[in-house]
Amino acid sequence: MSANAAAAAPQLTASECAVWQREQSFARSVAEHDAATFATHVAENAAFGASTPEPKRGRDAIARRWAGLIEGKRVALQWYPTRVTMAPGVEDVAWSSGPSLIEVLDPESKERYLIGAFHSVWHKDADGVWRVLFDDGIEPRPATTEDVRNFEAGRTDCVAPANS
């Protein structure tokens, strides 16, 4: 995908945009090494690594599992949404997906960057806050310079029609 192709954001409803922005906020919590804010994005009964034989279940277990990623001493993780989808008439569940980029901070590492993707299911809790209920991704692969450039160029803001 060229950087120009990645720059166009899909048209979304206002509700889908809210999830898009929440996904961006979730990613920002990791980039800013903010474990407390990270936890506020995770549903209490969430499952991460949902397609694996042993997913991490529950906010506390997930926060412990992600602590090293959030700390950011060995790797720096970035991601952003490129799609958010909600089913018609279902206002409390949404699906989001997009690319992820891992920068390996060890100067001795064979691979500096890895590229992957994520898929998340969000649930709007009783308090009106969107939280990740299920999360998973694809196994990252070594990233080329072009992959990294396309990742950096692909980040966009949500565009919601005025009448949604």
CATH number at residue 147: 3.10.450.50
Judge whether residue 134 has pLDDT over 90.
yes
Residue 162 lies in a domain: no
Per residue in 17-74, pLDDT (tens digit) is 999 999 999 999 999 999 999 999 999 999 999 999 999 999 999 999 999 999 999 9
Residue 96 lies in a domain: yes
Model confidence band, residue 159 (pLDDT cutoffs 50, 70, 90): confident
Per residue in 88-127, pLDDT (tens digit) is 999 999 999 999 999 999 999 999 999 999 999 999 999 9
Neighbours of 139 (CB within 10 A): 7
Residue 43 belongs to what H/E stretch? Answer: strand 42-48
162: nearest Cα among 20, 21, 17: 17
Residue 160 lies in a domain: no
Q: What pLDDT does residue 11 have?
A: 84
- Count of domains in the chain? 1
Backbone angles phi, psi at 52, to 5 degrees: -85, 160
What is the Cα–Cα distance from 62 to 119, expressed in whole angstroms? 16
Strand partners, 93: 123
Domain that holds residue 137: 3-153
What is the Cα–Cα distance from 119 to 112, expressed in whole angstroms? 23
Model confidence band, residue 8 (pLDDT cutoffs 50, 70, 90): low
Residue 38 lies in a domain: yes
Residue 151 belongs to what H/E stretch? Answer: helix 145-153
Residue 161 lies in a domain: no
Residue 159 lies in a domain: no
3 state SS for 88-141? CCCCCEEEEEEEEEEEECCCCCCCCEEEEEEEEEEEECCCCCEEEEEEEEEEEE
